[in-house]
């Protein structure tokens, strides 16, 4: 069953430049109302001027009238455009309370997210600069969102559902009047193909239990359409199947990591990330996703008493090999 366009009501779907720039489709959504426009996520630093302004104009609206921006989580493709929007509008910014520190400090989010496992993965100076460029300038968050909060106004009622999972404070947004469930990046299936590449972006999560319980909450909700950021909207049956596929991936990754530990006496996060990127999916070498998966599943096994950490000295990186 395909979705009728009418399921979106007044929502304007904004296709962005992210597919050309970074190899993934990225959709933002704007809801016009008496007092302006609600915008769900802001894209990267360039998205407001590159994609949002023109698409809104085509639909008869002005970017200057954006009155409320809701950020789903503190990744650059979802809140990097905040400063560009603040520069041209009087928008109020709302975002998950649990990620406010990341939303307001680029250095902090880049270090704590990409370099959380420095023994396994570090950014080069160029990679760090590229990510900082996507983040743009930071904007203070005006309204901190918590689970169950309802944003209401002439646009209707938007309910906040904290899923955690894909990022520690990740939220979904339910349009209670139209039955839409915006899941942003939380329902990841077995990953997302990267356009123009043989590789897929692996699912990203940091806490196995939290990711699972967030997905199970979404599975319990009624919706007319499930709307992800990096793919097409799904009808209820396809949406539930996709959530189930996401849960199944977690089970597969759990078994994979456990099996890997039974076959190797000692496992490092980096080596496990490499194995995940090669054998669990075409996910590439050590990267944010594979390293986070490795760490999340080692932590999960450790919490269940099935694995334990061992520390040892590595070669001194300040000493050049002769
Ligand atoms: Zn994203």
* Domains of the chain, residue spans: 5-245, 251-303
Q: What is the predicted pLDDT for the residue at 309?
A: 85
| 316: confidence class by pLDDT, cuts 50, 70, 90 | confident
pLDDT higher than threshold 60 for residue 321: no
Distance, CA 262 to ligand 1 centroid (Å)?
34
Contact of 3 with 13, CB cutoff 8 Å: no
Q: Mean pLDDT throughout 273-277? A: 97
Q: Which residues of 24-34 are buried (b: 16+ CB within 10 A; e: fewer)?
A: bbbbbbbbbee
CA 6 – CA 26 distance, rounded (Å)? 21
Distance, CA 77 to ligand 1 centroid (Å)?
5
Report the SS3 class of residue 82: helix
Distance, CA 263 to ligand 1 centroid (Å)?
34
Distance, CA 148 to ligand 1 centroid (Å)?
22
Distance, CA 161 to ligand 1 centroid (Å)?
17
Class of CATH domain 5-245 = alpha beta
Q: Mean pLDDT throughout 63-75? A: 98
- Give, as one character, the DSSP assignment of residue 123: -
Q: What is the predicted pLDDT for the residue at 312?
A: 84
Residue 147 has φ and ψ, to the nearest 5°, of: -55, 130
Distance, CA 315 to ligand 1 centroid (Å)?
36
- Give the CA radius of gyration of the chain: 20
Distance, CA 288 to ligand 1 centroid (Å)?
13
pLDDT higher than threshold 50 for residue 228: yes
* pLDDT above 70: percentage of residues in the chain: 98
CA 184 – CA 173 distance, rounded (Å)? 9
**Which pLDDT tens digit goes with each residue over 257-273?**
999 999 998 899 999 99
Contact of 157 with 146, CB cutoff 8 Å: no
Q: What average pLDDT does the chain have?
A: 95
- Give, as one character, the DSSP assignment of residue 189: T
Distance, CA 212 to ligand 1 centroid (Å)?
19
Distance, CA 35 to ligand 1 centroid (Å)?
28
Q: Mean pLDDT throughout 114-141? A: 95
Locate 287 and state its tokens: 């990267």
Q: Mean pLDDT throughout 140-152? A: 98
Distance, CA 261 to ligand 1 centroid (Å)?
31
Distance, CA 43 to ligand 1 centroid (Å)?
9
Contacts (Cβ under 8 Å, ≥6 apart) of 148: 159, 160, 161
**Which pLDDT tens digit goes with each residue over 281-302?**
999 999 999 999 999 999 999 9
Distance, CA 91 to ligand 1 centroid (Å)?
22
Distance, CA 27 to ligand 1 centroid (Å)?
9
**Which pLDDT tens digit goes with each residue over 76-120?**
999 999 999 999 999 999 999 999 999 999 999 999 999 999 989
pLDDT higher than threshold 50 for residue 322: no
| Crossing angle between the packed helical segments 288-303 and 208-220, to the nearest 10 degrees | 100
């Amino acid at each position: 069953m395909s979705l009728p366009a009418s399921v979106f009501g007044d929502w304007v779907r904004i296709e962005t430049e992210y597919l050309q720039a970074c190899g993934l489709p990225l959709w933002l959504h704007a809801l016009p109302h008496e007092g302006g426009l609600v915008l769900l996520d802001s894209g990267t630093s360039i998205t407001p001027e590159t994609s949002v302004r023109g698409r809104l104009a085509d639909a008869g609206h002005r970017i200057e009238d954006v009155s409320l921006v809701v950020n789903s989580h503190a990744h650059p493709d979802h809140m990097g455009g905040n400063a560009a929007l603040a520069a041209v509008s009087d928008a109020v910014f709302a975002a998950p309370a649990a990620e406010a520190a990341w939303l307001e400090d680029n250095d902090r989010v880049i270090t704590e997210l990409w370099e959380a496992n420095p023994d396994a993965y570090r950014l080069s100076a160029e990679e760090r600069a590229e990510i900082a460029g996507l983040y743009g300038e930071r904007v203070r968050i005006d309204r901190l969102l918590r689970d169950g909060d309802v944003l209401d106004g002439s646009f209707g009622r938007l309910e906040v559902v904290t899923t955690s999972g894909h990022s520690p404070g990740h939220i979904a947004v339910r349009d209670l009047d139209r039955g839409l469930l915006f899941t942003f990046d939380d329902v990841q299936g077995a990953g997302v193909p990267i356009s123009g590449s043989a590789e897929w972006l692996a699912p990203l999560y940091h806490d196995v239990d939290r990711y699972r319980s967030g997905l199970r909450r979404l599975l319990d909700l009624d919706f007319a359409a499930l709307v992800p950021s990096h793919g097409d909207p799904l009808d209820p049956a396809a949406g539930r199947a996709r959530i189930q596929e996401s849960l199944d991936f977690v089970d597969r990754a759990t078994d994979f990591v456990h099996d890997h530990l039974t076959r190797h006496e000692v496992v490092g996060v980096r080596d496990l990330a490499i194995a995940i990127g090669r054998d669990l999916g075409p996910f590439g070498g050590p990267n944010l996703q594979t390293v986070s998966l490795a760490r999340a599943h080692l932590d999960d096994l450790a919490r269940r008493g099935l694995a334990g950490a061992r520390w040892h000295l590595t070669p001194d990186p300040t000493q050049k090999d002769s």
